[in-house]
Structure 1
């Protein structure tokens, strides 16, 4: 289990007690697209808990899935559920036996709460704990309610305030959650300095994974997506070095894609025919590799086609096919995105080329690293992460605007044609 979060304030804060439970508003999902603003009561924080006034919550793809289907993959909600798990806020009450925090502290919330006692937790891989409860997920019952509430009581050990710099906004602090996924993916992949990386999917997690690949010393990071706006965004903001826009239907014969070099210019690719889904994936992998090897640039191991490590961030079966074909012999494929639960894969490709397939599930022991990386932003540090605030393309003020926020988050562009990347709901 992660160690208790500590900050600069050593004294134990005297717990705050109110005379009676207070009333708060919460956004509660009762069924597909049936989102309601409801009044609830909140008790004082119990032993080991903090009460947090939630300032910002980012909308994740899993939240959108629950909103549209009342389910996420195989997980179906059984009763009303507050969504939201990418959050940051301010401490407004401190429960008994909590040290290192005081009222007014700014904190980022890690919302997966493990048991801390099992063998998995003792090994430090608490994200795999069978008893783990994750806010806004229907996996545990009763469901662990999400953060789209005015205030929540949360275990202090899972609240991170250690040296959260003043220049880091609540929006950026909330994005520590998807950044943690990217950090965990890199911890699993452990790319060697000078490696080449491919990231499939340019959503929030894909962009942050690409950024972390560059942080980890990958000299070439190619990012792909079916949305040209997201690929261009990744390149213009320095998340990746090359990009490729994948045809929306790579199963069809005679479709064409567009490549995007680091300059951001779009050029048409050659037309290819795909007799099967594997042939289509193989052709796409070949085209991506060609884009990632700009003409005239020096290439090491010219006889080895493919990338050292591929991060599959969509969860789509066809993207997993492409990942295997796009990875060089002896390389690694890291499954970051969760989507299609049962897939048919060309496993002989991995077998014959000795490609390691690694899975990741959320994250563990990542928030301290994420906070250090955010601390380096806006301070002129060479190689600092691109701005996380810039990733927030749309902001909605107040829980009463949650329905509009979810509707927009399910799209890739707004009514004016602007890119939709990260939608947040602010207090």
Structure 2
């Protein structure tokens, strides 16, 4: 079929920091092994915001114009040659990482570590793989997951960040009855708390530096108790900061009624003081899950971890999580999860959506937690 017969679409294309342009494009038909999806909802996350604000996310800098977005769901509009089991009209969530399937990690089921991974809206690889902030997306058919009947497109877009926490909880070997402390109650921290609750945690508490977000977490039942941390003193030496982190968190966990610490600590901030505190916040034999991405090099209380056998575990993206994530999102077990989506903005106004996320609140002063871009 000629391209002239294909429908028009718009896309939010990033050219550099604060240079996001809404462009009209031609929607090409899906290739062999692909399906075409009309994207109905895309949630914006921290990495999207870093790209928008700076033209880079950590070490990954934009090398060519790229469509942003990777937390998405939509409806299949066409299937490419060789695709079976999927058909136009099906509602699906989109897993946005395309793995090589041949390396040692892919063969071991740990494809999130695949060095050849191409991920939508990530500048790690070149040519970049366009993301989901476009009317239509052509993507690998085996990375499409049908939605439960009771799961909306908006909720299905949360399958991606929820997958991050499902993967982290598997790494932590989380089990029912354990206690959980969450550092940071942005969208990822709230999902960590919601998942822990659905998995049977006996106690879930949170710490943050933002009193408004902590109040939101407690008032909506994501956690039972909260503590607002003071801002750190950057004038102190690294050794002084390390001691301050220990003294602060030991007081906090005692205040939570858990002086020995928590079974699992989800560190969702990436901030150096919170990473340091997390080791002291874990119970002897407990686990610290490093979920937040941020600090590169820092001083850690390694002796405290070693002598108390606190496992410090890294967690990167996810693997084989989407079916579980969607089942949970459609089950009703993730109480108040819909509260995470605070704002909805049309694709044509994507720039406003990113500015809203950057400010953290709207013109009326309402907290901007998870902003969802809606399809046309």
Displacement of 1:248 in angstroms is 2.7
Displacement of 1:19 in angstroms is 6.9
Asked if structure 2 preserves the Cα contact closer than 8 Å seen for 1:234 and 1:240, the reply is: yes
Residue 327 of structure 1: aligned partner: 282
Structure 2 residues not aligned, in runs of 5+? none
Are 2:34 and 1:34 equivalent residues in the alignment? no
Residue 373 of structure 2: aligned partner: 425
CA distance in 2, matches of 1:288, 1:126: 38
Q: 1:85 aligns with which of 63, 70, 73?
A: 70
TM-score by length of 1: 0.84
Are 2:319 and 1:349 equivalent residues in the alignment? no
CA distance in 2, matches of 1:74, 1:318: 22
Are 2:18 and 1:70 equivalent residues in the alignment? no
Of 141-150 and 385-394, deviating more is: 385-394
Q: Any idea what the Cα deviations from partners look like across 1:322-360, whole Å, max 9, x if unmatched?
A: 111211221111100111222222212212221111101
Q: 1:170 aligns with which of 135, 148, 153?
A: 153
Displacement of 1:141 in angstroms is 0.5
Structure 1 runs (4+) deviating above 6 angstroms are 16-19
Q: Any idea what the Cα deviations from partners look like across 1:256-281, whole Å, max 9, x if unmatched?
A: xxxxxxxxxxxxxxxxxx98211221
Instruction: Report the count of equivalent residues.
Output: 374
Q: Any idea what the Cα deviations from partners look like across 1:196-227, whole Å, max 9, x if unmatched?
A: 11110101111111111222222111111111
Displacement of 1:86 in angstroms is 0.5
Q: 2:353 aligns with which of 383, 386, 405?
A: 405
Displacement of 1:56 in angstroms is 0.7
Provide the alpha-carbon RMSD of the alignment. 1.9
Displacement of 1:319 in angstroms is 1.1
- Could you say if the C-alpha distance between residues 126 and 275 of structure 1 is closer, same or farther in structure 2, counting changes exceeding 3 Å? closer
Q: 2:322 aligns with which of 342, 345, 367?
A: 367
Residue 385 of structure 1: aligned partner: 334
Asked if structure 2 preserves the Cα contact closer than 8 Å seen for 1:243 and 1:291, the reply is: no
Asked if structure 2 preserves the Cα contact closer than 8 Å seen for 1:220 and 1:242, the reply is: no
Q: Any idea what the Cα deviations from partners look like across 1:34-72, whole Å, max 9, x if unmatched?
A: 111112223211111100011111110000011111111
Q: 1:102 aligns with which of 87, 90, 93?
A: 87
Structure 1 residues not aligned, in runs of 5+? 1-15, 254-273, 294-298, 378-383
Q: 2:344 aligns with which of 395, 406, 417?
A: 395
Are 2:145 and 1:181 equivalent residues in the alignment? no
CA distance in 2, matches of 1:218, 1:117: 37
TM-score by length of 2: 0.95
CA distance in 1, matches of 2:93, 2:306: 42
- Could you say if the C-alpha distance between residues 291 and 250 of structure 1 is closer, same or farther in structure 2, counting changes exceeding 3 Å? farther
Residue 291 of structure 1: aligned partner: 255
Residue 47 of structure 1: aligned partner: 32
Residue 5 of structure 1: aligned partner: none
What SS does structure 2 have at the residue aligned with 1:395? strand
**Bigger radius of gyration among the two:** 1
What SS does structure 2 have at the residue aligned with 1:410? helix
Of 49-58 and 320-329, deviating more is: 320-329
Query: Greater helix share, 1 or 2?
Result: 2
Of 48-57 and 339-348, deviating more is: 339-348
Displacement of 1:187 in angstroms is 0.7
